[in-house]
Homo-oligomer: A and B are copies of this chain.
């Protein structure tokens, strides 16, 4: 067990953190509304090679994995960057397995943008496709066929929505490309949707963390009834509950990413869990932070509403959260799954030997500044 990032992951995180803080401040986020897409920012993201970092090296990518993408997604979430990196990266990995170089090369080069429909197509339309309004290519499942749609005209008619997502209904033209058919196509599509979920979980962790900080900043500056708002016990307790949930959501999101990378049997259920838990955590945190702002939280002038709307909308585009819990239960407990199929447990090959709990006097507890997004293990 090692909950630290590797040196490379740490370096990536620091680079991206600086990048998003600099390139996607709230002014940029606001300017990109309502479409939710900043073409210039996307070009820069593409030039950094981010959409292709998890594409295998023999396809021209950087050969990294879901943990690295989750790092990028968390930081994207923190800054609400108006770029469909999660969609592009997910669709890119799927296309790397099912499409040829002619499709893949412009994606890896950042010249074209691909996205993924989260719901199988019904008849001739893929509905509510994230980034569908700005993508050149859309991958969608229809029955057992994995389809690739070219979108010659973009953006298509974007649909106004709560989360300022470049959402569109994408018609399926007659001249579609069938990437694959049958169980392999279906499995590939579901793996991609799963990866979209775990990356969105990471983005929601970023949203939640930043929403908490915004709330903290506010209550530590404003006074009411002669005292700092931050000194009210009900506010403190809610902030503490949210900070706790965010730590849990972050650990779970990175566990899900790790499980995806090392192909644990529990990877599907962990992706579902991390998505559900991060969704609840982000919405509750943003909602309560907004409420702590009093009337100001309701004004467009304050940033917290940007987080509140996305915390609700980004996961909702994948469907009803409550149904997700029921699906998870079946995923976990329908036969023939082993009853305690959890990562690092039985029927997993044992990990490398790790030292036991120490009995030597440890050092003092390590303090973490609240405004520093730490590694997942560091809370």
Contacts and interface: CB of A to CB of B under 8 A. Distances in A.
Contacts of A296: none
A368 interface: no
Contacts of A2: none
A234 B235 CA distance: 9
Interface string A207-251: 000000000000000000000000011100100000000000000
Contacts of A237: 234
Question: How many A residues are at the interface, by size bracket?
Answer: under 10
Contacts of A234: 233-234, 237
A232 B233 CA distance: 7
Nearest to A233: B233
Main secondary structure of the interface of A (DSSP, over half): helix
A334 B233 CA distance: 45
Most chain B Cβ neighbours within 10 Å, of A232, A234, A237? A234
Nearest to A238: B234
Nearest to A237: B234
Contacts of A233: 232-234
A232 B234 CA distance: 9
Nearest to A232: B233
Contacts of A232: 233
A236 to B, nearest CB: 9
A234 B241 CA distance: 13
Interface string A303-333: 0000000000000000000000000000000
A239 to B, nearest CB: 12
A234 B237 CA distance: 8
A187 B215 CA distance: 55
A222 B237 CA distance: 21
A297 B290 CA distance: 35
Interface string A179-195: 00000000000000000
Interface of A: 232-234, 237
5 contacts: A232-B233, A233-B233, A233-B234, A234-B234, A234-B237
Interface pairs A-B: 5 shortest CB-CB? A233-B233, A233-B234, A234-B234, A234-B237, A232-B233
